[in-house]
Amino acid sequence: MGRMFEKRKHKMFARYAKMGRVFARIGKEVAVAVKLGGPDPDGNPRLRMVLAKARTANMPKQNVDSAIKRAVSKEDGDLEEILYEGKGPHGIGLMIETATNNPTRTVGNLRSYFNKKGGALGTKGSMTFLFEHKGEYKVAIPEGDLDEFEFEMIDHGAEEINRDEEAIYITTSFEDFGRMQKALEDRGCTILHAELTREPTTTMQLNDEQEAEFNALLELIEDDDDVTNVFTTLA
């Protein structure tokens, strides 16, 4: 009975720890969005996108308000977005998005992870060609003719549209991400989720042992407080 309780407690703490990391990363995205466009969501499309992401993650409103307040006061320092690229064990490519107030610390930490677990931190552009920068939207199914809606979204930059019984999923280029957000908002659509992602143009398969070696590096990177997103070419 005691072991079962300890196991459940461990799982609960792990879940809360993961949730805490997610909220911290969204908080940094809020800070960057406020820095670039101000604290008013009505005049800041990027902040509206991050707030939608926060709602999807069930981030408490008080956490969001606190993140905006800290960003306005620069309590967490002057955050900047920096993209790092690297190659992990067995040739797996990585794109690492960060939001940091201390780039020296961030790059030092990332380099140490690669040194410990294999691979190497690369130079700018060394992995970019392996990924496509895309925008993704999940939208509540709107009223009216769905075929007409899809044709309208294509006019605003939709590259791919899929739907199921619950939602419509739209993929855009990075350049058309903001235009799509405005089109959806102007149409009164409910945006359930929105994010910028980096899709690999080619992927690699690893066996179980190789994948475990790569995941050891990935776990270190994802646990770093300065890291906001990680994308890989692992199949």
Compute the distance between CA of residue 149 and CA of residue 181 in angstroms, rounded to an integer: 14
- Domains by residue range for the chain, with CATH: 2-73 (1.10.10.200), 79-235 (3.30.70.980)
What is residue 130's three-state secondary structure? Answer: helix
**What pLDDT digit, counting tens, does each position of 84-93 carry?**
999 999 999 9
pLDDT band for position 74 (cuts 50, 70, 90): confident
Residue 15 is predicted with a pLDDT of 55
Compute the distance between CA of residue 212 and CA of residue 34 in angstroms, rounded to an integer: 38
pTM for the full model? Answer: 0.84
DSSP labels, 61-109: HHHHHHHHHHHHHTTT---EEEEEEEE-GGG-EEEEEEEES-HHHHHHH
Half-sphere exposure of 102 (CA within 13 A, CB side): 9
pLDDT band for position 16 (cuts 50, 70, 90): low
**What pLDDT digit, counting tens, does each position of 104-154 carry?**
999 999 999 999 999 999 999 999 999 999 999 999 999 999 999 999 999
Residue 57 in this model has a pLDDT that exceeds 90: no
Residue 7 in this model has a pLDDT that exceeds 90: no
Percent of the chain with pLDDT strictly greater than 90: 71
What is residue 145's three-state secondary structure? Answer: coil
What is residue 195's three-state secondary structure? Answer: strand
pLDDT (mean) for 24-53: 89
Compute the distance between CA of residue 14 and CA of residue 196 in angstroms, rounded to an integer: 27
